[in-house]
Structure 1
């Protein structure tokens, strides 16, 4: 019998930690007025739309609220709503910016009220504690909550103001509180999700000859903060500091 024949048949468990790419962190803005997350509603154009038309009629199997400023893509044609609308099975008329091309009857678009921040070069939500502490055996130990948890973040993208999501970030950043408020969702590749109501700071525009321009804003916690583990059988939002 050789040594190889004496190897144990049963292998020990491999406890090497999994690793995840930070570049797969996704950042979304939650559409204004959203009361739930919608990720794949089918919106149907129920009346043929001519080029330069400023109204259209849309329907959805389930009643779907679509806020003003939403970009809907029918085939290769994008239209932007200029008023709120609730698409129903019976159809509903909505005002739009002049259609750049004709849209055929029964053409469909997929609607999500999660607006992904395009090509984010940086997105780094940082949580910190707002607690009174004392030193116990040389360690900083919290003894009571003062303001609970805080969150700050920097969001930087190489996309420009001609992208509707970037335009929205800039519009918020150029507004005074509370008109600069957004709900931002960060989705990590390991299944951790963070949802925060934040104030968007004034945009910083970075551009130099020979380089790609960037738009950067800050996001500072101004309201509710919640997290979820998407690996759970039934994920739920757990609000931080909820009593």
Structure 2
């Protein structure tokens, strides 16, 4: 029997770019973060045309959004080019020219916890920096030299078109202190680790099937903290040589 033509209107669809390939989740804190912003709904107040360079954002509670943040409204993404605090009344923010129109009342979810996508490997390792002697056949620490140290390898299957991977590569291509990041590792049992690290030079890898990998090192360069999220009121505890 005769067939009709294909529908000319395509349904909206989008493959999520932020998900983890391991139960250990790795986050990068947004630049300049002084606290953790949980997932917050942002509403686009008025319709935005393609190529527009401003939009107005509304949030139930005041939410600081730094410049360079990527916001996804359905299948449309915009990148902010100035700091803004979204309020219940709405606040205008400068953006890179919008690639596609954004409808009024479209929503995006913002958090300053940026997940490393498809984290194939992420293995923070803490070591003791102590001087030891052998007493009666047992290794005994006698003096703390540098306290605790930490190194980590982060390997992701995400490409440079992902904003978090791009940021890791950009930091890794810079020298200290411009390669500094604050990273949070969250384990499925509720253990969390927060560290200020230097990101090492990225290693680009390939494998069968043309999959791509980006691998960087993360070496402790500042404070190191841990928290137990099972506690009634979790707090960050400093890790040191005391």
TM over 0.5: yes
TM-score bucket of the superposed structures, by smaller chain: 0.7 to 0.9
Change (3 A) 1:139 1:115: same
Q: Structure 2: which 5+ residue stretches go unaligned?
A: 1-20
**Displaced runs of 4+ in structure 1, greater than 6 A?**
none
Whole-Å Cα distance in 2 between the matches of residues 211 and 66 of structure 1? 36
Deviation at 1:90, TM superposition (A): 2.5
Tell me if 1:129 matches 2:128. Answer: yes
Deviation at 1:100, TM superposition (A): 1.9
Of stretches 220-229 and 65-74 in structure 1, the one that deviates more from structure 2 is 65-74
Quote the residue 2:162 is aligned against.
163
Quote the residue 1:16 is aligned against.
none
Q: Write the deviation string for residues 6-41 of structure 1: whole angstroms up to 9, x where unpaired.
A: xxxxxxxxxxxxxxxx93110010111111111211
Deviation at 1:229, TM superposition (A): 0.7
Scaled by the length of structure 1, the TM-score of the pair is: 0.86
Q: Structure 1: which 5+ residue stretches go unaligned?
A: 1-21
Scaled by the length of structure 2, the TM-score of the pair is: 0.87
Deviation at 1:61, TM superposition (A): 2.1
Deviation at 1:208, TM superposition (A): 5.5
Aligned partner of residue 167 in structure 1, secondary structure: helix
Structure 1 or 2, whichever has the larger Rg, is: 1
Quote the residue 1:3 is aligned against.
none
Tell me if 1:232 matches 2:231. Answer: yes
Q: Write the deviation string for residues 135-157 of structure 1: whole angstroms up to 9, x where unpaired.
A: 22322222222111111001011
The aligned runs of 1:64-213 (5 Å cut-off) are 64-207=63-206, 210-213=209-212
Q: RMSD between aligned alpha carbons?
A: 1.6
- Between the two proteins, the alignment pairs up a number of residues equal to 222
Q: Write the deviation string for residues 178-198 of structure 1: whole angstroms up to 9, x where unpaired.
A: 111000010011111000000
